[in-house]
Amino acid sequence: MRDDERIDESIDAALRSYAEPVEMPETRVAVAQVMVRVRSQRERRVGWWVWGAVAAAFLAVALAMGAMWRMGGSREAEIAWKPAAPGVLQVPMMPKESATNRVWSMEARDRSRSPRRPQLRIAALPKLEVFPAPRALSPQEQALLAFASEAPAGVRQAVIEDQQYWDTPIVVAEVKIRPLGEDEQQSVGQKSNLER
């Protein structure tokens, strides 16, 4: 029992020296070192925020430029078609909405497939089967236009009605002529003598 107590005492004594650090930096020096590291850490963190803010600003500018580029592209698509010949009657024409959508959807598809792929921009063309190309009026058309604007209403109506039967065949009734009698032949002869 005494041995156990003695051993316990030796253990306690050894533990006290065991837990006591061999060399310990002075508290004042240690506090100063910790505070220096704290301040440098805080400065690093501030620097990180500054760089983060700069990066965010650049990103915002890039996004804005991208949005502006897209808006510019849509304006181009709104121009339907300009006839090359000067002085020709220009009818304001807009592409059908479905045609514009198709152009945009094709561009979006191309972008999603490969950003480096050259984009094929297709100008929206008018539907020629719906809107024939404008051209100068022919002399006949000009004459028709003048007639339609100047002729009386009754004549215009007669022409319009007549147009309804333009392909109807004309039927001419059979003409029967009776031969001349003797009296009628004599009287016709006397008339011709008198005229001479």
Partner 1 sequence: MRPEDEAEFAGLVERQWRFAYCVAWAVLRNAQDAEDAAQEMFLRVFRTRSWEGLRDERAFVARAAWRAAVDRLRGLAVQPGAASPQKRKDQAGDSAIDDVAAVGPDPEEAAVAANWEAAVHRLIDSLPEELRQPLALSVEMNSKQIAAAMGVPEGTVRTRLMRARTMLREKIAAMEERHYARR
Q: Tokens for 5, please give them.
A: 């107590």
Rounded to 5°, the CA angle 165-166-168 comes to 60
Instruction: Report, in Å, the least distance between residue 47 CB and partner 1.
Output: 15
Query: Distance (Å, rounded) from C-alpha 15 to C-alpha 4?
Result: 16
Return the residue of 2, 3, 177, 191 that touches partner 1, per CB under 8 A. Answer: 3
In three-state secondary structure terms, 153 is helix
Chain center to CA of 69: 14
Return the residue of 2, 4, 75, 129 that touches partner 1, per CB under 8 A. Answer: 4
- For 29-57, b/e burial (b = at least 16 CB within 10 A) is eeeeeeeeeeeeeeeeeeeeeeeeeeeee
Given the complex with partner 1, which of 41 and 74 has the nearer CB atom?
A: 41
Given the complex with partner 1, which of 24 and 170 has the nearer CB atom?
A: 24
Binding window for partner 1 (CB under 8 A); candidates: 8-16, 47-55, 72-80, 179-187: 8-16
For residue 47, state whether it binds partner 1 (rule: CB under 8 A).
Answer: no
> Residues 11 to 40: which contact partner 1 by CB under 8 A?
11, 13-25, 27-28, 30-31, 33-35, 37-38
Given the complex with partner 1, which of 21 and 72 has the nearer CB atom?
A: 21
Query: Distance (Å, rounded) from C-alpha 110 to C-alpha 101?
Result: 14
Q: Residue 158 phi/psi, 5° resolution? A: -65, -40
Return the residue of 1, 2, 9, 41 that touches partner 1, per CB under 8 A. Answer: 41
Instruction: Report, in Å, the least distance between residue 55 CB and partner 1.
Output: 22
Interface with partner 1 by CB under 8 A: which residues? 3-4, 7-8, 10-11, 13-25, 27-28, 30-31, 33-35, 37-38, 41-42
